[in-house]
């Protein structure tokens, strides 16, 4: 399998390419997915391609034939969706079984083991390091002890629509080795955010925040629906205004007011996803102190891949069905 960067590409960037006949996929590819004991299959052809860096990469497989096997715990979390056919994936920890629907993304947590049976010609795969997902959670003031375990998201339209939109628009950049390091870091963070928005954390245990920055982030999350000033944040954590700004810049790369706006956007998003009788975009924005509707709509679309009105419209359609 080719995993070396091409000339002119950064060393952190890799391309993946395997073409094989029958079961001869090679030990290296099985190692990527933690597959133990090989794969029982009736393969005629197999093609696997992809690119990305150590934190985020896009992969795709085209197969003629069926596969069955076991995937042990691995270094990366995997979001995947099949393009056709059928599959069954069993979580060997809790015994739950997935029956993937074509086009619907699912998540496989890095620390979990799975058994699988597939009869599909095409599968698309997004790999994310544990590090990039924990960094995205830390930027929200969330610190998880132990492994990150994600649950599946049943609502493909409301919760997964933004994820699919971001993957569709950003996949060419993920696979482009020419973009610079800063662009790639921002790209990876955006995709990690979309994955965290799409899939719920299961039994996420969050310790009490200990650093000034973490306490400030937690306080902002708890008070996002209130009128808040920088002085309020500083008083809450016992720092000067300059001190709390510096602490959050060092820890999260953002100011307290930037974090407050992000928390308010997330709160408005939750309310619109929930929908309900009498919910209006303008009233939701005002309730979260997002008073400039034009800026709210633009920021919302940038973060969630759609306008607030689209989220609310789908929530209403779901309630009516």
Predicted local confidence at residue 207, as pLDDT:
64
Alpha-carbon gap, residue 38 to 15, rounded angstroms: 23
Q: What one-character DSSP code corresponds to residue 4?
A: P
Q: What is the pLDDT of residues 240-257, one digit of tens each?
A: 999 999 999 988 888 999
pTM metric for this prediction: 0.65
Model confidence band, residue 236 (pLDDT cutoffs 50, 70, 90): very high
Q: What is the pLDDT of residues 149-204, one digit of tens each?
A: 999 987 767 667 778 888 888 889 999 988 888 889 889 999 998 999 899 888 75
Q: What is the mean pLDDT of the chain?
A: 83
Least Cα distance to 116 among 28, 199, 23, 39 occurs for 39
Please determine, for residue 126, whether its predicted confidence score (pLDDT) is greater than 80.
yes
Predicted local confidence at residue 238, as pLDDT:
95
CB 134 within 8 A of CB 64: no
The most confident of the ranges 114-123, 146-155, 303-312 is 114-123
Euclidean distance between the first and final Cα of the chain, in Å?
A: 47
Predicted local confidence at residue 245, as pLDDT:
95
Q: What is the pLDDT of residues 193-202, one digit of tens each?
A: 899 989 988 8
Q: What is the mean pLDDT of residues 8-36?
A: 63
Least Cα distance to 128 among 178, 69, 64, 196 occurs for 196
């Amino acid at each position: 399998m080719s995993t070396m960067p091409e000339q002119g590409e950064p060393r952190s960037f890799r391309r993946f390419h395997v073409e094989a006949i029958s079961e001869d996929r090679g030990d290296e590819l099985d190692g990527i997915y933690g597959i133990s004991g090989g794969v029982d299959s009736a393969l005629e052809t197999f093609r696997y391609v992809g690119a990305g860096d150590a934190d985020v990469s896009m992969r795709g497989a085209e197969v003629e034939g069926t596969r069955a096997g076991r995937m042990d715990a691995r270094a990366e979390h995997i979001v995947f969706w099949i393009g056709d056919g059928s599959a069954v994936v069993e979580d060997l920890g809790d015994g739950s079984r997935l029956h993937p629907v074509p086009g619907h993304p699912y998540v496989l947590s890095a620390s979990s083991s799975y058994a699988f049976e597939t009869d599909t010609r095409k599968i698309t795969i997004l790999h994310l390091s544990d590090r990039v997902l924990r960094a995205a959670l830390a930027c929200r003031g969330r610190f998880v002890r132990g492994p990150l375990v994600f649950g599946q998201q049943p609502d493909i339209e409301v919760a997964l629509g933004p994820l699919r939109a971001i993957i569709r628009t950003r996949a060419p950049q993920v696979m482009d080795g020419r973009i610079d390091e800063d662009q790639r870091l921002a790209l990876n963070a955006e995709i990690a955010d979309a994955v965290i928005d799409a899939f719920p954390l299961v039994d996420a245990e969050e310790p009490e925040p200990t650093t000034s920055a973490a306490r400030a982030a937690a306080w902002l999350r708890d008070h996002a629906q209130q009128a808040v000033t920088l002085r309020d944040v500083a008083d809450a954590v016992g720092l000067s205004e300059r001190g709390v700004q510096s602490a959050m810049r060092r820890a999260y790369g953002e100011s307290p007011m930037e974090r407050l706006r992000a928390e308010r956007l997330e709160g408005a998003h939750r309310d619109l996803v929930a929908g309900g009788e009498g919910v209006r975009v303008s009233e939701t924005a005002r309730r979260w102190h997002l008073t400039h509707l034009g800026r709210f709509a633009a920021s919302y679309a940038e973060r969630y891949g759609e306008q607030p009105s689209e989220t609310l419209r789908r929530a209403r359609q779901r309630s009516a069905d």
